[in-house]
Amino acid sequence: MKKTNQTNRSKQYREDDQAGKRHANSAGCGCPQEHSFSPQAPASKPDLAQAFLPTRFGSFKILVFPVDACKDTIVLVKGEVNGAKGVLTRVHSQCFTGDVFCSMRCDCRAQLEKSLQMVEKNGTGIIVYLMQEGRGIGLANKIRAYALQEKGLDTIEANKALGLPVDSRDYAQVAFVLKKLGVKSIRLITNNPEKIYGLKKLGINVQARVPIIMPKNKFNAKYLKTKKEKMGHLL
């Protein structure tokens, strides 16, 4: 019964969000794509950049696939993934406040670091880092939403109050990257059923879900509660 309720809640969330997607005046680099929320078509012939990247979590190969003048898709690869099945994979959307400034308002940086540790321990795996700040609304709008959250709104209510979609992320570039890398199927590190749904719609073979539950704190407790109760995250 619990699983059925969660499925219905997730379905309703998708329908509500699709209905709420519209043009928004978000501040950013000036690219029209940032303001339209239309799916970003993957580059057909990317000018790929790659190098060795040692980190405090382990050593990876870093690849950068240009998408447009404002965005790149960044990929960290561990081990040999060409032709591999069940590749441990994290699809991580940019969170400047969390990933860079260690914000405690979310669990983004903690999830990213944990994912790097998991891939390193596994010996093979992929981190796909998408430039989709604030679930696609951009940094300035995310900060505007934070201001509304300080007045009592949750993350969904704040986005809607600003006339923005709850989640406008697009995963087309993930499908493109995995195909370029020759990956046959993945084990996805996520708590978000909608991410699995979105990737499967693009033809990605998601073999299994790998949970990534991080400890909450007094600053992100409401945010995580909203993700669980309104967005169907498996927390």
Q: What is the pLDDT of residues 84-103, one digit of tens each?
A: 999 999 999 999 999 999 99
Respond yes or no: is residue 167 known to be catalytic.
yes
* pTM, entire model: 0.81
pLDDT digits (tens, 9 = 90+) for 115-134: 999 999 999 999 999 999 99
Tokens at 227, concatenated = 């993700």
Q: Please tell me the distance from the alpha carbon of residue 58 to that of residue 122, in angstroms, as a whole number.
A: 11
pLDDT digits (tens, 9 = 90+) for 33-51: 444 444 454 545 557 899 9
CA nearest neighbour of 82 among 11, 161, 179: 179
| Residue 69 confidence (pLDDT) | 63
Q: Please tell me the distance from the alpha carbon of residue 67 to that of residue 85, in angstroms, as a whole number.
A: 26
Tokens at 199, concatenated = 């990737």
| Phi, psi dihedral angles at 130 (to 5 degrees) | -100, 135
pLDDT greater than 50 at residue 83: yes
How would residue 235 be classed by pLDDT, with cut points 50, 70 and 90? confident
Instruction: Show the domain range for 222.
Output: 2-231
- CA 235 to mean position of chain CA atoms: 16
| Residue 71 confidence (pLDDT) | 79
Q: Which of 72, 99, 167, 170 is catalytic?
A: 167
What is the 8-class DSSP label of residue 144? Answer: H
Give the CATH number, domain containing residue 109. Answer: 3.40.50.10990
Q: Which of 169, 170, 187, 209 is catalytic?
A: 169
Q: How many domains does the chain have?
A: 1
Respond yes or no: is residue 169 known to be catalytic.
yes
Tokens at 116, concatenated = 């790097």
Tokens at 42, concatenated = 């993957």
Show the CA angle centred on residue 213, arms to residues 208 and 217, nearest 5°.
160
pLDDT digits (tens, 9 = 90+) for 199-222: 999 999 999 999 999 999 999 999
pLDDT greater than 70 at residue 7: no
